[in-house]
Amino acid sequence: MYLGKIMELTDRDVLYSTPMHPYTHALMSPCRLPDPDKESRRERILLVGDLPSPIDPPTGCVFHTRCPKYPPDSQRDGQAAVP
């Protein structure tokens, strides 16, 4: 959840094996991987910018203001846009 909104809803195994939403990627990026080869190649995602106000959330996808995949002026329709 991000600002009270569910960002990704799926089966646990699918969520851990193939997360789709950029926020899920960011949440899981600091988790260590059991495979040393994969662990050495993984990238940690650091979110930049300020957390939007939960009283006055942004329009569209509430994560778009901190999303590393979309420019800051992106507007979303409330659904996660997965490239």
Q: Tokens at residue 68, please? A: 């590393």
Of 39, 41, 48, 53, the C-alpha closest to 67 is 48
pLDDT digits (tens, 9 = 90+) for 35-82: 889 888 888 888 888 889 999 998 888 998 888 887 665 444 544 444
Of 48, 73, 70, the C-alpha closest to 59 is 73
Q: What is the DSSP letter of 5?
A: B
pTM exceeds cut of 0.75? no
Secondary structure of residue 2 in the 3-state scheme: strand
pLDDT at 3 over 70: yes
